[in-house]
Chain A
Amino acid sequence: MNDIIQLNLIQFSSIYLLLLVVLAVMKRAEIEQSKLLVIASIRMTIQLILAGLVLTYIFDNPHPLWTLLYIFSMIAFAFHRVLSKQPGLNRAFKIGIMISIALSGLLVILYFIGGVIGISVFNPQYTIPIGGMIIGNAMTGVSLGIKTFMTNLASDRNKIDTLLNLGVEPRKILLPYVNQALETALLPTLNSMLSMGIISLPGMMTGQILSGTLPLTAIMYQIAIMVAICTAVCLSVFLSLTFGYQSLYNHRQQIRLP
């Protein structure tokens, strides 16, 4: 196995030329998003350079505190992203989401790094990238789950009112919506497991192979991370919705939708 070819700055910069193709197509199809393309490319570049610098510093000066700080800022960012897509949630619901993402993310990271790989969870080289994948996917899952849940509730307001008036417990009215949202949030992860390895080689595996890891080692890591992601998504969405739906009714059994 060869080690990965280091990119020099000129080689690296030439990849941006491909974006001219995208720009040309956008112009031709009259998609007025060329500004977004430029901003997105610049933001991506700056954010990744920063991440690269921070990671370089942390790898050179490993300290448990840095690893912890990195993981917690990822959780905070994930939480912020979920909420920015769902304003209008009540306080208890928001707190529930934060606890759920943090709890399920940390639990799965701990099991993966400490249990399966069997090294210290403060090892930045493993914990930061793997933690990022787990928390990032949990974020997408929770976002989708909460969105599905709230949209379905809003469009079924009339049904919910009827059932309340009929003397049905709020719990019994809301639980089917919880289950349905959980299913919707899980499907993308399950579907990506179905196509994995046939349609595409996943990102982490590609990266490992490029940097010289044996393919069989790379697939083991890939399988492990997929199982970890699936668990983190399932747990975080389930906990978020379970905390969340109970915040929608009060002791007088009145359902309050935003």
Chain B
Amino acid sequence: MPRILIKTESLNFNHMIRYPDLQIQAEKLTFIKGPSGTGKTTLLKLLNATTSPASGTICLNDESIDSIDAVLLRQQLLLCGQTVYLFDSTIRENFAHYYRYRNLAIPDDDTIQKYLTLCLAPFPLDTHCQTLSGGERQRIYIAIFLSFQSDVLMLDEPTSALDETTSRKLFENLKLLMTDTNRTLIVVSHDQRLIETYADAVIDLDAIKEQTQRSVVNTALTQKEA
């Protein structure tokens, strides 16, 4: 029986988005999909408490996230946002900047290289990030977040600047790494092919919305055995 990691109950954001009650399993790869405006990004922000719901509760391992220190929660449920931010310096210095902000020891070159390779960005560490393309920057950004080895990694549109082959290869690596180490991956994406190939579970916010509109009891969490 898979363990439930995150549970939401009558979650309501800004009185505009009403979420059905959701469940996300531990140690699985869950995709969140739906057209824009259905609150996919907002859901991730609610989960890591960078924004608060108007009403409703979110539980992490059966404990309300309101009783967890918000900073510790974010370190545990790391959210790699949609907009890439890299410092105007080299790849190595970017890792260093972010690790310094977290008061952590800066990883050695081999470790950095390992995560870059996993994210298909095997560039020399002295490469200046300004010289890289949008897709390359996105992969470095993901590599930095991945290297923090959080229990849960949430990726918001991680393949928006990547071609299909690169996207598939990236997800192959991500899934292997996360399931190997018993960690949870939550991904917002609208790439149907990626979802079909890699999802352990899918939350379709649009389908749920339509169903709740028709007053059908929520059962929209589609499960797919990997």
CB-based contact B49/A166 at 8 Å: no
- How many Å lie between the Cα of A159 and that of B85 in the bound state? 6
Task: Assess A252 versus B52: contact at CB under 8 Å? Given A167-B102, A168-B101.
Answer: yes
**Interface secondary structure of B, over-half rule:** mixed
**B74 lies within 8 A of chain A by Cβ:** yes
The listed residue (B52, B72, B81) touching A165 by CB distance below 8 A is: B81
> Of residues 159 to 194 in A, which have CB atoms within 8 Å of B's CB atoms?
159, 161-169, 172-173
> Of residues 24 to 81 in B, which have CB atoms within 8 Å of A's CB atoms?
48-52, 69-76, 78-81
**B198 lies within 8 A of chain A by Cβ:** no
CB-based contact A165/B50 at 8 Å: yes
The listed residue (A158, A165, A172, A253) touching B78 by CB distance below 8 A is: A165
**B13 lies within 8 A of chain A by Cβ:** no
Taking the closest CB of chain A, its distance from the CB of B115, in whole angstroms, is: 15
The listed residue (B48, B52, B75, B83) touching A158 by CB distance below 8 A is: B83
The listed residue (A159, A162, A173, A254) touching B51 by CB distance below 8 A is: A254
Interface size class of A (residues with CB under 8 A): 10 to 19
- Per-position contact with A for B98-137: 1 when CB-CB < 8 Å, else 0? 1001100000000000000000000000000000000000
Interface size class of B (residues with CB under 8 A): 20 to 34
Which B residues lie within 8 Å of A159 (CB)?
Answer: 85
- How many Å lie between the Cα of A166 and that of B145 in the bound state? 8
Task: Assess A165 versus B101: contact at CB under 8 Å? Given A158-B83, A158-B85, A253-B70.
Answer: no
- How many Å lie between the Cα of A172 and that of B102 in the bound state? 9
Taking the closest CB of chain A, its distance from the CB of B18, in whole angstroms, is: 21
- How many Å lie between the Cα of A38 and that of B81 in the bound state? 54
Task: Assess A167 versus B74: contact at CB under 8 Å? Given A252-B49, A253-B49, A254-B52.
Answer: yes
Minimal Cβ-Cβ distance residue in B for A169: B71
CB-based contact A164/B83 at 8 Å: no
CB-based contact B49/A162 at 8 Å: no
> Of residues 129 to 165 in B, which have CB atoms within 8 Å of A's CB atoms?
145, 148
A contacts, CB < 8 Å to B: 158-159, 161-169, 172-173, 252-254
Beyond the given A165-B79, A166-B101, please list 6 additional residue pairs across the A-B interface where CB-CB is below 8 A. Answer: A166-B148, A167-B71, A167-B72, A168-B102, A253-B49, A254-B50
